[in-house]
Structure 1
Amino acid sequence: MRAVQILVDKAYPNRDEFAVKRHELRDLLTEVTHNASQREAIEIYLATEAVMGVPIPASLMVTAEPENPSLPRQMPVSLLADGIRDRYGEGAQVSVVTLPSGEAVRGRREELSEDSLELGQDKARPNTLLEFFLPVPHSTAWLVLTFSAPLKELADAQVQMFDAIAASFRWSD
């Protein structure tokens, strides 16, 4: 929780002038870190920069799907893409993409979690999520990058940035 407070102080240093916004940001960051903990995240990155004094929220959570000893080799990315399409339904855009790290599954969808609703997020303003499922070389494990853009008006621009970040990922031997 100390890290959350540091980020809130950095985004809104004036406690009196921005008390409501500080409270909203603290609640949002607490939700994000709680979700990351529930999903056993390896890493979480939160955007703390502001444009003209207004924070532009975005996050990246890195998780891993561990090796499956019952599989003799890595599941084909096309098969995983089909499963993700089935899981998220018609509203999701799922495709197989080629990144510098190799073939991966890319999925874009909108989601409004129960935690977000409890924090008062409008049902008409879901978060935009962009996920990349990258097969870990020489194993049956997957690395999952989950990007989140909570501002609908900026989602398309942020997704372009998220795509660029995913394209910068490389495996090393």
Structure 2
Amino acid sequence: MQPDQTETTTERGGGDNDAPQAPVTGYRVLLPSEWAQIPLRHGTEDAVRRVLDEAFARIPADGPQDKIGPYKRELERRFRASVADAQRSKALDLYLPVKPMGDFTVGASILVSESVVPRRAGERHPAAEPTEVAVQLLARDGVEDADLSSGDIDGALAVRREHVAAAAPAKGAEVASRRVEYVLSVPDDPERWFVAAFSTVGGGDPRDELAEALVEWFDAVMANFRWSRA
């Protein structure tokens, strides 16, 4: 499943409303220009190099060279570590804010992945109801005390989970983070599920006003999510 970030949409109007639609081949999300997409299966290095080159170009050329060099190396190390961590999760795409939004750089990310529902031998489709399957997928990581809700996004069942993840220094998470995941059933393919996972540290507190505003922003992004079809 490939992403499509163009801002144009194709209206599906006229004709028979019951006519079959073309199969889903990808998805479309609208993000501000400050965010960059890092594909994690193909073209990763080109995307990483482009983001780093743009970041390095914003560093004042007349700055102290004994500080610029170490800063660049540390910036590249951290950025590549984030991408490598996302690749280990076998995700599809990583989205990061790579430019300041206003007067500050947002500490947040969006990780897009796919999940396949396991089934017993001989089963054509999962036996459970779609909402139950989505909740089971979210429950795989053992998160408790999460807020769950469900709805519809571009004709697909969507289950939303929100929670605060505690700091886990051993896993590279130095501070707690606010997380929101959307699990969407892929149309016409009951075994495939699309997952968009948003994470932010807010302004240092995952429950502060900045975190609240960013969660609302991500909800708006997902409200405008659309499937791409052949």
Which band: TM-score by shorter chain? 0.7 to 0.9
| Higher relative helix content | 1
Change (3 A) 1:156 1:33: same
Per-residue CA distance 1:40-81 (angstroms, 9 max, x = gap):
111111112314442113211111113646453355343135
User: Which one of 119, 122, 125 corresponds to residue 73 of structure 1?
Assistant: 125
Is residue 156–residue 186 contact of structure 2 (8 Å, CA) maintained in 1? no
Change (3 A) 1:8 1:57: farther
Alpha-carbon distance in 2 for matches of 1:105, 1:24: 38
Give the greater-gyration-radius structure (CA).
2
User: Which one of 142, 151, 156 corresponds to residue 97 of structure 1?
Assistant: 151
Output the amino acid matched with 2:143. Y
Structure 1: 5+ residue stretches without partners: none
TM-score normalised by the chain length of structure 2:
0.59
Is residue 119–residue 125 contact of structure 2 (8 Å, CA) maintained in 1? no
Higher relative contact order (CA 8 A, sep 6+): 2
Is residue 43–residue 62 contact of structure 1 (8 Å, CA) maintained in 2? yes
Moved more, 17-26 or 59-68: 17-26
Alpha-carbon distance in 1 for matches of 2:162, 2:104: 25
Change (3 A) 1:45 1:102: same
Change (3 A) 1:28 1:167: farther
Corresponding position of 1:88: 143
Alpha-carbon distance in 2 for matches of 1:108, 1:25: 30
1:150 aligns to 2:201 (yes or no)? yes
**Alpha carbon RMSD of aligned pairs, Å?**
3.0
Change (3 A) 1:52 1:99: closer
Alpha-carbon distance in 2 for matches of 1:69, 1:81: 14
Alpha-carbon distance in 2 for matches of 1:40, 1:116: 18
Change (3 A) 1:115 1:85: closer
Corresponding position of 2:226: 170
Structure 2: 5+ residue stretches without partners: 1-47
Output the amino acid matched with 1:93. D
Q: How does 1:1-173 map to 2 (within 5 A)?
A: 2-3=49-50, 5-6=52-53, 8-9=55-56, 13-14=59-60, 16=63, 26=76, 28-66=78-116, 68=118, 70=120, 71-73=123-125, 75-83=128-136, 84=138, 87-90=142-145, 92-111=146-165, 112-113=167-168, 114-117=170-173, 121=174, 125-139=175-189, 140-151=191-202, 152=206, 153=208, 154-173=210-229
- Aligned-pair identity in percent equals 22
